[in-house]
Structure formats: structure tokens, C-alpha cells
Amino acid sequence: MLRFVALWLLVRVFGRLPVRVLYAAAVLLDQPVEGFVWPDWLRYDDDVDSDFKGVQIVPSGFFGSQYGTADSIPSPPLASVDGVPLLFGTSEIRRAGNSLVVGADLLASTYFMLTRYEEWVRGGVRDAHGRFPGKESLPYRAGFIDRPIVDEYEELLRTWAGQAGVSVTAPNRRFSVLLTHDVDQIRTRHRYYNLARAVKKALLGRESWRQVARKALLAFKLFPDPADNMDDVIGLDRTMMASGNATRCQSVYFFMADDRAVSDGNYDIHGPRARRIIHDVLQSGATVGLHASYHAGQFPEDITDERIRLEEAVGVRIYKNRHHFLAWRDPEDGHALAASGITWDSTLGYADVAGFRLGVCRPIPLFDPHRRCMLGIEEHPLIVMDCTLSSDGYMNLDEDSAFAHVCKLADVAFQHGGEFVVLWHNHVLGKTDGSYHARLYPRILDYLGSLLQSDLGRVARRTKQYTPHPIKGPTTHASLTIHSS
Ligand SMILES: [Zn+2]
């Protein structure tokens, strides 16, 4: 209720500006939504005021009659402004008195990204698990899934304000790392099924007979169980947290409290083994969250029972969540999540492609675009998941390519003073898993540790900038048109 009141007050204070615009502006500028004060150097209006000192964004019409329709979704190739992909508006920039008037509708573009706009407008586009495929997304199709364009917009806006004679302070952020683990298994499940599936794939030429032999050894318990490795995983993260600044590297383990679906967890959260592991996780300085089941992805009202079950087992308040299979389907499902007591989530990354699903690499408050209200959930967008890199149906990268790709994404987050959120399942880190992740994950930790140790984070953020364009006269930038008046 308070969230509705807060937004109603915002509308009253800012008159014609719709709630959607206020939300986009607050998050774009990295300001709290509740209590947001519209900056006196920014306008969002069709009527240009030449006496205004600052940046005037001309609305593109996105929030008009076509809002919510498939026709409102841009198609590649996109225009760009100062090298940043632009979803709505034009790349025209001109002087008007004390103002810089820009056609780039950064607020509509931001809103599109933050609310997963195309995912609910294209509600019929879903994969076998009910998820919107990352490879269907505009950021992937237009080639900017590896760029947090909303964070780039924030820097762009600040640069423009400076060119209009207004000094705007950069948000006070510093690069951090969030290591996360979805604990789907604490012992390998479906061992005989896995063996049968490996044989079938080998017969089709899609699996090596070496892998079949390994799965046979696992099935008959002649090999150490790769999922029986929580002590190793906890040790890796604990070393990483100890070597860096603890406030800039944190670790979260998501446990399942429901095993109804075949694809859900294979352990009893109240069992002695799970409780011992949870105790060790908490002792290491990490935190515990709910791994909402596959079933709860379809029926979000069931999350309450799962959260309570986990809370009873853990003995501490549970308010963090990530959905199993990353299967949080629609924005409005967030209401059930919030009603269950979850206020922190890290589900929103794509399973099939790594990158910046929401266009940001920092925590943001989530918004319900249908009811036009805040959800009361702080989202920590997931940037990269283990199987996204390695699965043949996803990115299908070899170990060195996967390492290079993660480093590239981490560098981007570093430049923006962002939060780099990674997910590695414990069972793929087992030495007998057969994948490259047991080697890759420590390499990535080393790299992230070197970034955390670097004192260059803030410097890099200040100096990383787009080439400033001249205010007067024509520009050589192909996508930019500047008029003086
Ligand atoms: Zn899972």
C-alpha cells in the first residue's frame, strides 16, 4: 500500500509525468524511486524551453497509443547516439539557448530494458520451460546483450548535462562481486537415467563414449560423486571473500525446499545432511536464499510455503530468492514473490546467453508495468551462469573462450562500478563432473579477485567515456546530427 501511495504522491508532485517515466528516470540516474527528486537540469517534454538550463529530452511517443503492442518494439538495426544503441527517438542533438535538446528518448529506452517490456508484450514467445529466450531478445538480436546500456545512458546524460553547463555528480558505486550457487543436488540424482541418456546421445554421435564410461562409473558408484562437493565449493568462496574486501565480494547459496517436480531438488531440506551443509555455509560468512522450485515458477503463490520450510530448516530469516531454471516468467509474478516475504531476487539473467538482460549491472528496484507500481523487490541481475557458457544448446563455448567471455563481461561491469553476479552450480564444480567448470571457476575467481584488488575501479569509471561531440557545427559521427540555433 505504501508503494502505491508513494508513487501517487510522485505523480501529484510532477503533474503530467507518468509513473512509468518517473520510475525510469529514478533508476537511470541511480536514485531511490521512493523519495525521488526530479533533477532541475532535466526536462522530458515536447515543448522546448530555450530558457531552461540543462538537458531537454524530446519524448519519442513510446508511452502513447502504441504502448503495449508488438508494433512498439524496435527492430534491428538500431540507431545509436554517441556510440550507444538507441531504442527510441532520434540521435539528433541541438542547442536551444542554455539547453541541449536531444531526440534520444533515454527514458523510454531505459523503461523498455528495466521492465522486460518485450518479454510480456511478446507473451507467446517462450521456451520449453516457459521462459523468454535470451536469443529472442532485442539486446541479443541487435548485438548489445554484452553492454549495460542503461548504465551507459546514465553516463551519456551526465556528459550532456556537462555540455549544457550543469555539473552532475556520478553515482557513488564501486565494483563488487556476487558469487552465487544454486544447490539443486547434494548427491547426483537420476544416475541411471543420466547413463541411459548418455548412451542414447553417444549412439546419435552427440556424446563421447568416454562420457558414457564416466556416467557408468558414477551410476554404479565406482567414482566419487561430483555433487558431493559442498565443502570444496564453500572453501573456494571463503578464500575469495577473505582475500578481497568482504563487503565487495559476497556469496549466496540458494537451497530448494520442494522436490515435487522431477527437475526439482533431490534432498530433504530438513534432513541432517542438508542442515549440516547449511550450517557450514553460514559459518563461512555466506548467506542462504530460497531456490524457488520449478513448480513455484508455474504457481508463484506456492513460494510462501517453500520460503517458510527453508526458514524452519535454516533458523534465520529468508528473504533472498532465485528461481530454479531461472523460470520467473512474468513481471506480475513478482507480487506473489513479494507477498511471500522475498525482498531480494537474482533470477533475471537469460539461461541461453550471458549478458545484461535488464541493461544494468547493479541492483535495481523492480516495477510492475501492468499495475504501475513498485514490487518491493530489489533485483540483482544475473550476468553469467555456468551452463550458459558450456551447453551445446546455449553458447557452447570451450573453456578458454568461456573464460575470455566472462573476463570481458567482468571488465564491463568493472568500468561501470557494477555488481558482477555469477552462478555456478555446485555439482558442475565436482572434479568427476566431466565438464571444464572445475578448472574454469577458480580461474574466474582469480580474475575477479585481481579486479577487486585493483585501485583503478573508480578511475576507470571516471575516465571511461564516449568521445565528447562538439556542440556547434556538424559532427563527423555518422549517427549524430547536431543543429545550432
Ligand atoms: Zn536450479
- At 187-229, the pLDDT tens digits run 876 667 777 887 888 888 877 887 777 777 676 676 777 778 9
Peptide bond before residue 133 is cis, with ω within 30 degrees of 0: no
Q: Per the structure, how many domains does the chain have?
A: 2
Q: Looking at the domain assignment, is residue 220 inside a domain? A: no
Same domain, 121 and 181: no
Query: What distance in angstroms lies between residue 89's CA and the mean position of ligand 1's atoms?
Result: 39
Rounded distance from Cα 361 to ligand 1 centre (Å): 22
The three three-digit cell numbers of residue 322, written as one number:
532465485
Model confidence at 485: pLDDT above 70: no
Residue 423 backbone phi and psi in degrees, to 5: -130, 120
Which grid cell sits at 179? 558469487
Distance 294 CA to ligand 1 centre (A): 8
Neighbouring C-alpha atoms within 13 Å toward the C-beta of 26: 23
232 with 121, same domain? no
Q: Is the model's pLDDT at 470 over the cut of 90? A: no
Does 27 reside within a domain? yes
As a whole-number percent, the residues of the chain with pLDDT over 70 amount to 87
Contact 274, 312 (CB under 8 A): no
Separation of CA 408 and ligand 1 centre (Å): 25
Q: What is the CATH number of the domain that holds 262?
A: 3.20.20.370
Report how far ligand 1's centroid is from the alpha carbon of 64 (Å): 39
How many A from CA of 252 to the centre of ligand 1? 13
Question: What b/e readout covers 313-335, taking b as 16+ CB neighbours within 10 angstroms?
Answer: bbeeebbbbbbbbbbbbebebbb
Strand order in the sheet with 249-255: 364-368, 373-379, 344-345, 320-323, 287-292, 249-255, 176-183, 419-423, 384-385
Spacing, Cα 468 to ligand 1 middle (Å): 45
- Do 136 and 183 have their domain in common? no
Q: Could you tell me if residue 345 is inside a domain?
A: yes
Q: Ligand 1 centre and the CA of 319: distance in Å?
A: 17
181 C-alpha vs ligand 1 centroid, how far in Å?
A: 9
Are 99 and 182 members of one domain? no
- 259 and 380 both lie in a single domain: yes
| CA 324 to ligand 1 center in whole angstroms | 4
111 with 232, same domain?
A: no
| pLDDT surpassing 70 at residue 467 | no
| Structure confidence at residue 79 as a pLDDT band (50, 70, 90) | very high
**Residue 64 DSSP class:** S
**Rounded distance from Cα 204 to ligand 1 centre (Å):** 28
392 alpha carbon – ligand 1 mean position (Å): 18
Instruction: Give the per-residue pLDDT at 208.
Output: 82
DSSP single-letter state for residue 232: H
One domain, residues 137 and 276: no
Specify whether 62 is located in the same domain as 144. yes
- Residue 482's pLDDT is 27
Position with higher pLDDT, 342 vs 481:
342
* Confidence band of 22 (pLDDT split at 50, 70, 90): very high
Average pLDDT, the chain: 87
Ligand 1 mean position, distance from CA 182 (Å) = 5
| Count of CB atoms situated within 10 Å of the CB of 110 | 28
Question: 434 and 344, same structural domain?
Answer: yes
Query: Using one digit for the tens of pLDDT, what is the confidence trace for 25-68?
Result: 999 999 999 889 999 999 999 999 989 999 999 999 999 999 99
Of the pLDDT bands very low, low, confident and very high (cuts 50, 70, 90), residue 172 is confident
Contact 260, 295 (CB under 8 A): yes
Neighbours of ion ligand 1 (CB under 5 A): 182, 184, 324
Task: Establish if 202 belongs to a structural domain.
Answer: no
Indicate if the pLDDT at residue 332 is higher than 90.
no
* CA neighbor of 130 nearest in space, from 146, 119, 138, 118: 119
* Residue-wise pLDDT tens digits, 370-389: 999 999 999 999 999 999 99
Q: Is 90 helix (H, G, I), strand (E, B) or coil?
A: strand
CA of 232 to the centre of ligand 1 (A): 19
Q: Which domain holds residue 412?
A: 176-188+225-454
> Ligand 1 mean position to 476 CA, how many Å?
49
Ligand 1 centroid to residue 4 C-alpha, Å: 33
* pTM beyond cutoff 0.85: yes
Flag whether 466 is in a domain.
no
Percent of the chain with pLDDT over 90: 71
C-alpha cell at position 438? 572445475
Higher pLDDT, 363 or 485: 363
Kindly give the distance from the C-alpha atom of residue 183 to the centroid of ligand 1, in angstroms, as a whole number. 7
Distance 184 CA to ligand 1 centre (A): 5
Is the domain of 122 the same as that of 241?
A: no
C-alpha of residue 357 to centroid of ligand 1, in Å = 19
Q: Is the model's pLDDT at 12 over the cut of 70?
A: no
What would the pLDDT profile of 285-327 be if each residue is shown by its tens digit? 999 999 999 988 889 999 999 999 999 999 999 999 999 999 9
Is residue 407 in a domain?
yes
User: Looking at the domain assignment, is residue 384 inside a domain?
Assistant: yes
Ligand 1 centroid vs 107 CA: distance in angstroms? 34
Choose the final residue of a domain: 113, 128, 163.
163
Same-domain status, 441 and 293: yes
Ligand 1 midpoint to CA 146 (Å): 24
What is the rounded average pLDDT of the residues 161-175? 93
Q: Are residues 325 and 401 in the same domain?
A: yes
Residue 371 Cα to ligand 1 midpoint, Å, equals: 29
Distance from the alpha carbon of residue 199 to the mean position of ligand 1, in angstroms: 25
- CA of 355 from ligand 1 middle (Å) equals 19
